[in-house]
Amino acid sequence: MQGSLGKSTGLGLALASALAFGGSGVAAKPLIEAGLEPLHVTWLRVVGAALVMLPVAWRHRRLPVRRPALVAGFGLLAVAGVQACYFASISRIPVGVALLVEYLAPALVLGWVRFVQRRPVTRAAAVGVVLAVGGLACVVEVWSGLSFDLVGLALALGAACCQVGYFVLSDHGGDTSDAADPLGVIAYGLLIGAVALTAVAAPWNLDWSVLAGRADMHGARVPAILLLAWVVLVATVVAYLTGVLSIRRLSPQVAGVVACLEAVIATVLAWVLLGEHLGTAQIIGGAVVLAGAFIAQTSAPKAAPAEPVAASAAAAAEPDAYKAEEPVQR
In a domain, 285, yes or no: yes
Residues of the chain with pLDDT under 70: 1-6, 96, 113, 117, 121, 140-148, 172-179, 251-254, 256-257, 296-330
In a domain, 316, yes or no: no
In a domain, 258, yes or no: yes
In a domain, 61, yes or no: yes
pLDDT at 197: 92
pLDDT at 74: 93
Query: Please, where are the H alpha helices in 60-181?
Result: 63-66, 68-73, 82-90, 95-102, 105-111, 123-139, 150-170
In a domain, 323, yes or no: no
In a domain, 161, yes or no: yes
Measure CA 267 to chain center. Answer: 16
pLDDT in tens, 148-203: 688 988 999 999 999 888 877 887 655 444 567 888 999 999 999 999 999 888 89
In a domain, 314, yes or no: no
Sequence-separated (6 or more) residues with CB below 8 Å from residue 88: 38, 39, 42, 152, 155
pLDDT at 294: 74
- Full domain range(s) for residue 271: 7-303
In a domain, 158, yes or no: yes
pLDDT at 266: 77
Domain count, the chain: 1
